[in-house]
Structure 1
Amino acid sequence: MSTTHRLNLYRRYFELVAAGTKTIEVRVKYPHLENLAVGDRIVFRIKDTEERCEVEVLRVTEYPSFEALLDGEGPERVNPSSSLEQQLDNIRSIYGPEKEALGALAIEIKLV
């Protein structure tokens, strides 16, 4: 049985997901995401707005760091409008080193 997860996204990433060009979502391996599985749904929203989009989880892969994730998945699948270096800086500005130490999740998604 699939589960629906609700997660916030910054507008710039939300727009890439909603356009179907962002196919890999990056998250820290928080305890509430440990049960994320293929076939689950994620409803992304922009905080403090009514804007939403729904995706299906196609794959979840764990990496030891954000750098390993971007190398393994390809930066163009995470954010086609930014270089690898820019993305690494952006991700690390959202998640500090103590969060990255928990592990990084690459969540392959497709619009529903």
Structure 2
Amino acid sequence: MSDTTTARRHELNLYRRHFDLVAAGRKSIEVRVRYPHLAGMTAGYTIRFRIKGTEETCEVLVKRVAEYPGFEALLDGEGPANVNPASSREEQLANIRAIYPPEKEALGALAIEIELLAA
């Protein structure tokens, strides 16, 4: 792909509760499964988060990407307050696993450190 700007940008959906934390600058770690389309993401990428089915978006800069074998290791390594300052570790683990079943978690987990970009 010759257009490096396009190659270094992702658009991802977020649930409202997580979007609001990102848009307020309160969430610094986004959790994702290590899907092939995200495996090459590194610092310097931008992500446009969208609430599915709406036009609401916010953009973040990727500062760092760390890989973990699963969600428990990710929460322990990154600190639950960085992933979601509004929920306990146990609540977060249950919420993440409600989104991603065991076969998805088996692919590995990504902790994407993000910084909100000015609108």
User: Shorter-chain-normalised TM-score: which range?
Assistant: over 0.9
Q: How far does residue 35 in structure 1 lie from its aligned partner after superposition?
A: 1.2
Mark the structure with the bigger radius of gyration. Answer: 2
Selected match of 1:30 from 35, 38, 41: 35
Q: Does 1:45 align with 2:47?
A: no
Selected match of 1:71 from 69, 76, 92: 76
Aligned partner of 2:26 in structure 1 is 21
- Partners of 1:92 and 1:34 in 2: CA distance: 20
Q: How many residues align?
A: 112
Gapped regions of structure 1 (runs ≥ 5):
none
Gapped regions of structure 2 (runs ≥ 5):
none
Show structure 1 runs of 4+ deviating over 3 A: none
Partner amino acid, structure 2, of 1:65: G
Aligned partner of 2:108 in structure 1 is 103
Q: How far does residue 81 in structure 1 lie from its aligned partner after superposition?
A: 0.5
Q: Deviations over 1:35-84 (max 9, x none)?
A: 11100000000001000000000000000010000000000000000000
Aligned partner of 1:84 in structure 2 is 89
- TM-score calculated relative to the size of structure 1: 0.98
- TM-score calculated relative to the size of structure 2: 0.92
- Partners of 2:106 and 2:41 in 1: CA distance: 19
- Partners of 2:106 and 2:62 in 1: CA distance: 23
Q: CA-atom RMSD, angstroms?
A: 0.7
Partner amino acid, structure 2, of 1:45: R
Q: SS of the residue aligned with 1:54?
A: strand
Q: Percent identity?
A: 70
Partner amino acid, structure 2, of 1:43: R
Q: SS of the residue aligned with 1:92?
A: helix
